[in-house]
């Protein structure tokens, strides 16, 4: 079975005074539906406010740009049979898990755009490979779908007030708040449990002239267990390489090019190259389970943020000191590769000296 693995740009779904929302369509990117993942891009202009909503998917938000954003998340406490709202400050590099059905609003109280990438899995969605949003208020809000007599009885208000309740907000997805309205939003909650910055912590791997790699899993970010996802950030310097690797088990990796450009190759079944393509900032790439992929940065370098559909993913590497090939004795390598003993020994020695991030050759 052949799959179209080429990277894709999103398409704008909504644009208004408060910002815009774009997404990747499964009708144009069929692999999204096949592997049950999806993605969207929210741009909040200064004063932009995304109306309260929930979705039919579990996902991660990753702040690509911005220093003065905030999000309100209403989470269910199943043990206490109650709900609580947490309000988190946002800045570039923050990762925010958004559990299935959690109600959220998003706001930009800064002077420049806040851009948030959403990646998640879509096994529970109405449209395979896409997120469906349900708004509480506004022109698309659920409250507006009920008749005024239902609303008046529900909230014990007059029918006149009921009409005001559901008709006053004429915005749809995004609106723009005045500075006064923005100042009256709830104060921030202590955020350590619910949001972590992947760009400002000590990386898991750092190689001179090659780059850095950092991962959040259920081990170092327990709140990820609520969404069943993990994530990583790889920043490759000019002409550096992310060595070939694959995800073990039923894990799909969804990768977004946040900055720069490069070249990607993906190898599938029977050693067949399934993709050999240039990738640039703004594109989304999917690596199917067990497929092996590798990336080489262009002269400007490349930054890639990705999610995996597991909170504790297991990875197989084909190069570097953690390579599965490096585990083998030289005699096994000699037979498997049909090379001389000298070559097998030299090959193992070189693997043992390198990480998954490879600097350019001199």
Per-residue pLDDT of 67-104, as tens digits, reads 989 999 998 765 555 678 889 999 999 999 999 989 99
Say yes or no: 172 and 263 in one domain.
no
Say yes or no: 210 and 291 in one domain.
yes
pLDDT at 289: 92
Say yes or no: 178 and 202 in one domain.
no
pLDDT at 322: 85
Say yes or no: 91 and 161 in one domain.
yes
292, 272 contact by CB (below 8 A): no
Domain boundaries, position 105: 11-183
Say yes or no: 35 and 179 in one domain.
yes
Say yes or no: 269 and 179 in one domain.
no
Residue 16 lies in a domain: yes
Residue 86 lies in a domain: yes
Question: What gap in Å lies between CA 57 and CA 254, rounded to an integer?
Answer: 15
190-203 pLDDT, tens digit each:
667 899 999 999 99
Structural domain count, the chain: 2
Tokens 């997120």 sit on residue:
131
pLDDT at 121: 94
Residue 334 lies in a domain: no
Residue 323 lies in a domain: no
pLDDT at 57: 95
Say yes or no: 54 and 131 in one domain.
yes
Residue 311 lies in a domain: yes
Q: How does residue 175 score in pLDDT terms, banded at 50, 70 and 90?
A: very high
Tokens 């970010």 sit on residue:
221
End position of a domain, from candidates 183, 214, 248 = 183
Say yes or no: 118 and 18 in one domain.
yes
Helices (H) and strands (E) in the chain, counts: 7, 23
Q: What is the average pLDDT score of the chain?
A: 92
Say yes or no: 270 and 294 in one domain.
yes
Q: How does residue 28 score in pLDDT terms, banded at 50, 70 and 90?
A: very high
230-285 pLDDT, tens digit each:
999 999 999 999 999 999 988 999 999 999 999 999 999 999 999 999 999 999 99
Say yes or no: 119 and 206 in one domain.
no
pLDDT at 20: 98
Say yes or no: 18 and 109 in one domain.
yes
Residue 43 lies in a domain: yes
User: Burial of 163 by CB count in 10 Å (0-12 exposed, 13-18 middle, 19+ buried)?
Assistant: middle
Residue 302 lies in a domain: yes
b or e along 244-259 (b: 16 or more beta carbons within 10 Å of the residue's beta carbon)? bbbbeeebbbbbbbbe
Q: How does residue 132 score in pLDDT terms, banded at 50, 70 and 90?
A: very high
pLDDT at 250: 87
The CA-atom distances, in angstroms, between 77 and each of 67, 74, 81, 161 are 30, 10, 6, 32
pTM, 2 dp? 0.93
pLDDT at 114: 97
Say yes or no: 171 and 42 in one domain.
yes
pLDDT at 96: 96
Range scoring the smallest mean pLDDT among 241-255, 285-299, 346-360: 346-360
DSSP string for 57-90: SEEEEEEEE-SSEEEEEEEEETTTTEEEEEEEEE
Residue 354 lies in a domain: no
The CATH number of the domain where 134 resides is what? 2.60.120.10
227, 59 contact by CB (below 8 A): yes
Range scoring the smallest mean pLDDT among 44-48, 72-76, 171-175, 199-203: 72-76
Q: How does residue 3 score in pLDDT terms, banded at 50, 70 and 90?
A: confident
DSSP string for 89-147: EE-TTEEEEE-TT-EEEEEE-SSS-EEEEEEEE-TT-SSTTS--EEESSSTTBSGGGS-
Closest by alpha carbon to 33, among 1, 4, 62?
4
Q: Does pLDDT of 21 surpass 80?
A: yes
Percent residues over pLDDT 70 in the chain? 97
């Amino acid at each position: 079975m052949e799959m179209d693995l080429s990277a894709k740009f999103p398409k704008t779904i909504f644009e208004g005074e408060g910002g815009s929302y774009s997404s990747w369509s499964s009708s144009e990117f069929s692999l999204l539906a096949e592997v049950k993942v999806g993605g969207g891009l929210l741009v909040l202009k200064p004063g932009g406010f995304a109306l309260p909503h929930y979705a039919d998917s579990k996902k991660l938000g990753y702040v690509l740009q911005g220093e003065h954003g905030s999000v309100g998340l209403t989470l269910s406490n199943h043990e206490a049979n109650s709900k609580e709202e947490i309000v988190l400050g946002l800045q570039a590099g923050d990762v925010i898990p958004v559990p299935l059905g959690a109600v959220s609003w998003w706001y930009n109280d800064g002077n420049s755009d806040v851009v948030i990438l959403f990646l998640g899995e879509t096994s529970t969605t109405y449209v395979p490979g896409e997120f469906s949003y349900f708004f509480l208020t506004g022109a698309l809000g659920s409250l507006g779908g009920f008749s005024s007599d239902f609303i008046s009885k529900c909230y014990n208000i007059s029918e006149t007030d009921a009409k005001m309740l559901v008709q006053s907000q004429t915005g749809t997805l995004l609106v723009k708040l005045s500075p006064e309205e923005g100042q009256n939003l709830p104060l921030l909650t202590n955020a350590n449990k619910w949001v972590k910055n992947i760009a400002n912590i000590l990386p898991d791997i750092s190689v001179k002239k090659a780059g850095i790699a950092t991962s959040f899993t259920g081990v170092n970010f327990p709140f990820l267990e609520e969404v069943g996802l993990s994530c990583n950030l790889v920043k490759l310097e000019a002409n550096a390489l992310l060595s070939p690797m694959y995800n073990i088990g039923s894990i799909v990796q969804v990768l977004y090019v946040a900055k720069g450009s490069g070249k990607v190759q993906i190898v599938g079944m029977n050693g067949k190259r399934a993709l050999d393509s240039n990738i640039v900032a703004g594109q989304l790439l999917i690596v199917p389970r067990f497929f092996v992929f590798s990336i080489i940065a262009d002269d400007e370098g490349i930054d890639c943020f990705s999610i995996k559909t597991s909170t504790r993913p297991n990875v197989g590497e084909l190069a570097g000191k953690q390579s599965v090939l490096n585990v083998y004795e030289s005699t096994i390598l000699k037979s498997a590769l049909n090379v001389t003993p000298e070559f097998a020994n030299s090959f193992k020695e070189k693997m043992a000296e390198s990480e998954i991030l490879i600097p350019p050759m001199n």
